[in-house]
């Protein structure tokens, strides 16, 4: 195994560059980073802080590690989307550093070592999907960090005896899967890698470590098996698609969307080049070659898993980016040495970095008219102004979080309203209200205030809210209705 030293100015420059990328991502996290789905993740962390339990007390169709992580930090520093974003940005930066460090330590040609490591950092840190979603209040930052850290631990375990590193690798891979099942494919890949060569003790340690992050979920399963099963698996297998009537066409369009993405095309081409360079290059030792093949296996496995998710979304593929970028860094080295000859890699790397940076800047520019948390805070101020503290409120999850107004049972997860076919007893057990039940409650005057940012949907139109409430305000394209008309 070839391993380069990490001392001296070159490595410090790499650390400084990753720190600069991290600072940029942190600034973005506090200003423009926003996605609709993070609202129910943040609300779940807030509810946990209030003493409620996922699955048992409210519907939360996710694994829970990252949510408990956020709840723990919020207990210390207060409930804030800024805190959740900062934590995610730091974790994503950690993933960038781990991947860039790996490239730096494994590239066999010293003259290209720094350029390749910079390339890996650029391809991950300024990837448009990673930059946009790696700093929001969802599990992406945790999954990025934990999967790359698990890869590093599994690789290191190959050269050391004892169960410690395999157990650490399993624990980290388990943390990723226990934060989001989108990264679960890393578990079997790393387990097989750990077990190669009949290293059964190490494989057993890996499995034991991987189980630890799932202990909270297993504990919940012993308390409420039907609710836990529904939230972790059944919802995704049978009910998630109900919110996407054209899911098959949607999935096909997502699968071919990489053809329209310059970042994705460049990453794929360089990753393929990296595999070819590693396979044919005499400078790559067999141990190092197999590690890069492991990157390819992780990228393919996670990519296949997120592709099979129904429906899937382009942002899911950000989980593939670190492993594809490690291969792409090797591809950049291979292309550079074959086409550049004696040319020093500094100027090509700077030009490449500008290309990646412009692509990320374009993503930010394209998002100039979308919602940000400042918009939601304006809506929350209005809701807080017109809604008594203990009055029933129907609102988006992000508004519940910002106003700290406890949601009525069944309103904690907005997508659950589209679920049909459950018996009333089953719906009550899962804390789910169907759209007909929500409509009945609204028409009966059950909510003192209604807030929604889905003003253009057929369901909201069918409620005829202006006829049910005397007062109405539209803020940032969201509607707030209050002062009920008495029957």
SS3 21: helix
pLDDT of residue 215: 94
Question: What pTM was computed for the model?
Answer: 0.94
Distances (CA, A) of 3 to 13, 102, 105, 116: 18, 9, 5, 15
In the sheet with 393-394, reading across from the earlier edge strand, the strands are 393-394, 449-452, 478-484, 469-475
For 174, the token pair is 């388990």
pLDDT of residue 281: 66
pLDDT of residue 38: 95
pLDDT of residue 14: 93
For 68, the token pair is 């408990």
Asked if residues 108 and 288 have their Cβ atoms less than 8 Å apart, the reply is yes
SS3 26: helix
Burial status of residue 378 (CB atoms within 10 A of its CB: 0-12, 13-18, 19 or more) = middle
Vertex 391 angle, CA 390 and 396, to 5°: 105
Helix (H) or strand (E) holding 244: none
pLDDT of residue 39: 95
SS3 80: coil
Vertex 442 angle, CA 428 and 231, to 5°: 30
Q: How far apart are CA 168 and CA 202, in angstroms?
A: 11
Asked if residues 298 and 148 have their Cβ atoms less than 8 Å apart, the reply is no
Q: How far apart are CA 172 and CA 179, in angstroms?
A: 11
Helix (H) or strand (E) holding 129: helix 128-133
Matching residue, tokens 């699955």: 55
For 450, the token pair is 């209604």
Backbone torsion region of residue 388, taken as left when φ is above 0, otherwise alpha when ψ lies between -120 and 50, otherwise beta: beta
Q: How far apart are CA 120 and CA 271, in angstroms?
A: 11
Asked if residues 318 and 140 have their Cβ atoms less than 8 Å apart, the reply is yes
How many CB atoms within 10 Å of residue 390?
9
Contacts of residue 456, defined as CB under 8 A and 6 or more positions apart, other chains included, come to: none
User: Phi and psi for 472 in degrees, rounded to 5?
Assistant: -150, 140
| 198-211 b/e (C-beta count within 10 Å ≥ 16 → b) | ebeebbbbbbebbe
pLDDT of residue 369: 81
Q: How far apart are CA 157 and CA 411, in angstroms?
A: 46
Q: Could you say which DSSP state residue 285 is in?
A: -
Asked if residues 393 and 447 have their Cβ atoms less than 8 Å apart, the reply is yes
Domain ranges of the chain: 9-366, 373-484
> What DSSP string describes 179-229?
H-GGGTTHHHHHHHHHHTTT-HHHHHHHHHHHHGGGHHHHHHHHH-HHHHH
Distances (CA, A) of 288 to 120, 159, 195, 300, 453: 17, 12, 18, 19, 51
Alpha helices, DSSP H only, in 212-320?
215-223, 225-229, 247-255, 262-280, 286-308
Q: How far apart are CA 82 and CA 42, in angstroms?
A: 11
Average pLDDT, consecutive stretches of 10 residues, N- to C-terminus, the chain (487 residues): 65 94 97 94 97 96 96 96 98 98 87 89 94 96 98 93 93 98 97 89 95 95 96 91 79 84 86 88 69 95 94 93 95 77 69 85 85 94 94 96 95 90 92 93 94 88 92 93 88
pLDDT of residue 287: 59
Asked if residues 258 and 268 have their Cβ atoms less than 8 Å apart, the reply is yes
pLDDT of residue 87: 98
Total residues belonging to the chain: 487
């Amino acid at each position: 195994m070839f391993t380069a030293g990490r001392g001296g100015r070159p490595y410090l420059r790499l650390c400084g560059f990753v720190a600069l990328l991290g600072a940029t991502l942190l600034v973005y996290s506090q200003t423009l980073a926003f996605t609709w789905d993070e609202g129910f993740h943040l609300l779940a962390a807030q509810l946990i802080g209030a003493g409620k339990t996922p699955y048992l007390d409210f519907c939360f169709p996710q694994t829970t590690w990252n949510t408990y992580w956020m709840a723990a930090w919020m207990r210390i520093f207060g409930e804030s989307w800024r805190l959740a974003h900062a934590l995610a940005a730091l974790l994503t930066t950690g993933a960038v550093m781990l991947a860039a460090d790996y490239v730096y330590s494994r590239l066999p040609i010293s003259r290209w070592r720094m350029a390749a490591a910079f390339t890996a950092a650029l391809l991950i840190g300024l990837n448009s999907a990673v930059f946009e979603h790696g700093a929001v209040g969802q599990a992406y930052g945790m999954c990025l960090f934990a999967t790359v850290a698990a890869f590093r631990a599994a690789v290191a375990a190959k050269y050391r005896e004892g169960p410690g590193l395999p157990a650490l690798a399993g624990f980290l891979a388990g943390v990723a899967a226990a934060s989001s099942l989108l990264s679960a494919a890393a578990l079997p890949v790393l387990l097989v890698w750990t077990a190669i060569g009949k290293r059964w003790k190490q494989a057993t340690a890996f499995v034991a470590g991987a189980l630890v992050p799932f202990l909270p979920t297993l504990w919940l399963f012993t308390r409420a098996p039907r609710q836990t099963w529904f939230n972790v698996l059944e919802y995704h297998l049978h009910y998630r698609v109900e919110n996407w009537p054209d899911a098959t066409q949607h999935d096909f369009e997502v699968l071919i969307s990489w053809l329209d993405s310059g970042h994705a095309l460049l990453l794929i081409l360089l990753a393929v080049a990296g595999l070819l360079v590693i396979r044919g290059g005499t400078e790559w030792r067999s141990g190092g070659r197999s590690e890069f093949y492991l990157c390819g296996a992780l990228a393919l496995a996670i990519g296949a898993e997120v592709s099979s998710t129904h429906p899937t979304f382009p942002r899911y593929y950000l989980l593939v980016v670190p492993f594809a970028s490690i291969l792409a860094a090797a591809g950049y080295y291979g292309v550079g040495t074959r086409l550049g000859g004696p040319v020093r890699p500094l100027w090509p790397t700077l030009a490449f970095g500008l290309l990646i940076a412009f692509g990320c800047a374009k993503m930010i520019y394209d998002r100039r008219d979308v919602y940000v948390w400042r918009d939601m805070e304006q809506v929350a101020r209005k809701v807080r102004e017109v809604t008594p503290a203990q009055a029933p409120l129907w609102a988006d999850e992000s508004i519940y979080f910002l106003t700290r107004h406890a949601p009525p049972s069944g309103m904690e997860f907005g997508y659950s309203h589209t679920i049909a076919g459950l018996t009333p007893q089953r719906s009550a057990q899962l804390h789910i209200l169907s759209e007909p039940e929500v409509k009945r409650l609204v028409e009966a005057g059950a909510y003192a205030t209604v807030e929604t940012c889905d003003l253009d949907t057929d369901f909201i139109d069918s409620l005829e809210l202006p006829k049910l409430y005397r007062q109405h305000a539209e803020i940032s394209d969201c509607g707030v209705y209050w002062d009920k008309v008495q029957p």
